[in-house]
Structure 1
Amino acid sequence: MKQQILLIASGICGLAMSSQAALVAHYAFDEASGATTAINQLAGSSGAVGTAVTTGVTGISGNAYSFPDIATGQTGIVDMGNASFFGGAGGLNSSTQLSYSVWMNSTDSDGNRNTILYAGSDTVANSYTDLGLSGETNAGTGTIDGAASARNRPVGATAGAQQTGIFSSPTTIHDGNWHHLVMTIDLSSTTLKLYVDGALANTQNFSSGAVLFPVFNNFEIGRLGRQGTPVDSYGGLVDDVQVYNHALTQDEVSSLFATPGSTVPEPSVLALAGLGLLSLGYRRRA
């Protein structure tokens, strides 16, 4: 009987491990005051902390970083550059799905996109994904100052919808409180989803445009680091940046929101838990 259980466990774990891995980067931002490096908890590419970014402030879980709303130079951002999680097996450049998860706290209401997370190309203009806080006004929905915003802009994206992205309007998040943002993209279903505080805030279908990702070679926190002239800097707190190479489900997003600092378990963990051989729990930072 014991041998049977082990064989079944081995088989399920094998299937799980061969399925798409989930978390590819996790920047907890738990570093102390004066830190110059943002550590990837998965031992991948670290981030260079700009001199105007304040580390060691109180976060939603552990510490957080405070960003100064500076777009020029490198002083106001955390720069991961051509991060290791872009390439190789399971990297974003070979994936058909992705998710970004971040906690933020801001009163920033500039008349632009106050970009928290940027991932894109530093060699092709206007080719990127971005997640943040909008100060723009959308003609279709009226004033949306303070709404969450998300975009996927690959080369060949059609003007209009993909250029504009989606917003959480009328939900606004520039109120000086902690909010959880998740952006998911699934190329097979041609959908981009934006979640705010565990709830689906908006969805975009981009099947009429280029159904692909930008070529990723630059990852930054704190501004839109597009090729040429970086713009749309962010002012406020950021905590617990996570990157996944699959599109998180509603249940997974809800769990991340309910337990700040947690991550979604790897498929192998879920398989063992299903057998009752491992207690299922979301990993939390101390």
Structure 2
Amino acid sequence: MRLFALLSMAAVALAAIPTIATAGLVGHYALDDGSGLTAADSAANPLPGTLTGDATPGGSTSGNGTFDSPDWVGGVSGTALSFGDFYTNSTTFGPKIDDVVEVANSGAGSKYEITGAISISAWVNLDSNSANGRKSTRHIAGRDTAGGPTGDVFSLKHRMGSSADLLEFLIDDPSTGNVNLAAAETLTTYQSASTHNGWVHVVGVFSPDDYMRIYVDGSLEGEYTEAVDGVPAAIDNSDAGATPLTIGRLNNSDEHSFYGSIDDVQFYDMALSDDEVAYLFANPGATVPEPTAVLTMLGMVGVLAAVRRHTCS
């Protein structure tokens, strides 16, 4: 009877494996689709993104041939999307700056109308820090607009230029407007030290009335605290309206686009811990598991060990 009970417990633990939940995950764009014009969202209540630009993604020709982007390319895990190569047509050769992944129905009333804690995670691989038709800020992912704080909500971005080249995390404060937190070193510096073939992991974490943090490759690289700097009490959605979630470019400006590749974009409605950020960096493509899921797995290991001890005795 004891062996039967142990085996029953093991069966229950094993059955729980496929349904392990992810802590606070709101959206996950793994960008492992590899082809087509859709970026799947694997989180609950999925809101897939649509790839748009000058032309259908994919393919290039030699020399000054056509580079249609965002293109599906190799990523830090699976595939990724490349933004901002060059295009040609009958009259023009120049940088493509209008490519974007836009998530429909992701504004007011959607799961991305987040007012409290938030964490945004993404992998980026910079192609160039030069302007090539772009404005000073290159959008990575979030709900953000050009032209000041009106319509802004939250985002990760890259402030370009030889005097900047900084990864930044933005939260729109209901009282004071945009709050931007920059990483300590340039993106080029982080990229030169990359252990993932030029890919750099960036995470922005916001805890209302507590702190804003930016992590790069698993390490804390910038922080505002309520006691020292003042931190927003909430995220302002009041003037954002239908501002959609986008990846690679602002929704309302062709000139605020990232110049490189982006992979594995994740959004959480919680403030990730140092350990959770480190876990994402160490496991590209993975999401943060629920604590209960971890306990379930540990419990399963214990039960199976007990079964083995019983059967061997």
Q: Is the 8 A contact 2:209 2:232 kept in 1?
A: no
Shift, 1:127, TM fit: 2.5
Shift, 1:107, TM fit: 3.1
Q: Is the 8 A contact 1:96 1:188 kept in 2?
A: no
CA distance in 2, matches of 1:87, 1:156: 22
Q: What residue number does 2:75 align with?
A: 59
CA RMSD in angstroms, aligned pairs only: 3.7
- 5+ unaligned residues in a row in structure 2: which ranges? 55-68, 87-95, 304-313
Q: What residue number does 2:168 align with?
A: 149
Q: What residue number does 1:47 align with?
A: 49
Q: What residue number does 2:234 align with?
A: 212
- Between the two proteins, what is the percent identity of the paired residues? 26
Q: Is the 8 A contact 1:183 1:192 kept in 2?
A: yes
Match of 2:120 among 80, 93, 100: 100
Match of 2:250 among 224, 244, 253: 224
CA distance in 2, matches of 1:230, 1:270: 43
CA distance in 1, matches of 2:32, 2:302: 28
- CA gap 1:210/1:37 in 2 versus in 1, 3 angstroms: same
Partner secondary structure for residue 257 of structure 1:
helix
Shift, 1:130, TM fit: 1.6
Shift, 1:42, TM fit: 2.4
Partner secondary structure for residue 275 of structure 1:
helix
- The structure with the larger Rg is 2
Shift, 1:79, TM fit: 0.1
Shift, 1:268, TM fit: 3.1
Q: AA paired with 2:221?
A: A
Is 173-182 or 97-106 further displaced after alignment?
Answer: 173-182
Q: Is the 8 A contact 2:159 2:165 kept in 1?
A: yes
Shift, 1:270, TM fit: 2.4
Q: What residue number does 1:254 align with?
A: 278
| TM-score in terms of structure 1 length | 0.73
Partner secondary structure for residue 279 of structure 2:
helix
Q: What residue number does 1:187 align with?
A: 208
Q: AA paired with 1:192?
A: M
Q: Is the 8 A contact 1:180 1:198 kept in 2?
A: yes
Q: AA paired with 1:37?
A: T
Between the two proteins, the alignment pairs up a number of residues equal to 250
Q: AA paired with 2:102?
A: D
| Superposed CA offset, 1:65-118 (max 9, x none) | 011179xx995100003339x757xx4535521111101101332361111112
Is 261-270 or 249-258 further displaced after alignment?
Answer: 261-270
Partner secondary structure for residue 148 of structure 1:
strand
| TM-score in terms of structure 2 length | 0.67
- CA gap 1:204/1:231 in 2 versus in 1, 3 angstroms: farther
CA distance in 1, matches of 2:302, 2:97: 44
- CA gap 1:246/1:20 in 2 versus in 1, 3 angstroms: farther
Q: What residue number does 2:66 align with?
A: none
Match of 1:134 among 156, 159, 171: 159
- CA gap 1:230/1:247 in 2 versus in 1, 3 angstroms: farther
Partner secondary structure for residue 118 of structure 1:
strand
CA distance in 1, matches of 2:22, 2:37: 33
- CA gap 1:156/1:225 in 2 versus in 1, 3 angstroms: farther
CA distance in 1, matches of 2:75, 2:22: 31
CA distance in 2, matches of 1:74, 1:107: 13
